[in-house]
Structure 1
Amino acid sequence: MFSKKKEEIDEKYLKKGATQIKDGDIDIAVDNQKEIDDKINNSGALRKYTELGKVMFGMLTDYRKGVYNHVPWFSIAAIAFALLYVLNPLDIVPDFLPGIGYIDDFALLTITIRFIETDLHKYLDWKLEEE
């Protein structure tokens, strides 16, 4: 049952979700950074994404401010979609299920990072040049 649920979180799911993201969704993700950070930091399965989550929030924030625009819209939309998905407690596998509630969040973050890895590296290089 749960492997089927995990299979629902795939590249097609990310692409479909990212295409539905609007500018206002980026605002929602950034405005809920503390809640999303807390969820990532306090769940064992997602904790490995703590630092990458900070980078993703930094990219969203800098994009929203207009100071960093060297990134495809799909990468921004994928980040916003993934972070809003993590924020949602009633996603494909509800987060309140002990031991398995974060499997889908973990899968989606993993897929998202795989898709935007190059853009994350470019953003980090840009940040280093800005300092």
Structure 2
Amino acid sequence: MKGSIFKKAITLFSVYKLKQLNSSDLDEAKLKAPNLKEMKDDFNTLVSMGKDTYSGDYKMNKWNLSVIVGTIVYVVSPLDAVPDLIPVLGWLDDVTIVGYSISKLTEEIKKYKEFKGQSNQLAK
């Protein structure tokens, strides 16, 4: 079952990465971050990277930005592999997607943290 949920989540993620984010999406993402438990700080870093890229303060390639956009949209969207209304399981797929994104963006996160002067707190 876990494999099928992950496949569904990846399919939704592929669709979501094409969406344009707006400031209300980013604000909503910040509000939902605490639900991600141990991934909260990593997710907040992704949101900050997105904000700084859209404002022109930080530059990254389009692929990495699409991963960030897809992740944020997946977390804030009511449509995902396991609806967030289901206790515990509802956020498990979101945590999985955030973890997957973090693993794909490790080098970009390191660059971003150096850019922000946080090089002593590099991504795990």
TM-score by length of 2: 0.79
1:2: how far off? 4.9
Where relative contact order (Cα < 8 A, 6+ residues apart) is larger, the structure is: 1
Q: Does 1:55 align with 2:45?
A: yes
Q: Does 1:105 align with 2:94?
A: yes
Instruction: Tell me which of 115, 119, 122 is aligned to 2:108.
Output: 119
Q: Secondary structure at the match of 2:89?
A: coil
Structure 1 unaligned regions, length at least 5: none
Whole-Å separation in 2 of the counterparts to 1:17 and 1:126: 30
Query: What do you get for the CA RMSD once the two structures are aligned?
Result: 2.3
TM-score by length of 1: 0.76
- 1:4 maps to a residue whose letter is S
Identical-residue share of aligned pairs (%): 22
Count of aligned pairs between the two proteins: 118
Structure 2 unaligned regions, length at least 5: 119-124
Quote the residue 1:39 is aligned against.
32
Q: Does 1:9 align with 2:9?
A: yes
Whole-Å separation in 1 of the counterparts to 2:12 and 2:18: 13
Q: Secondary structure at the match of 2:58?
A: coil
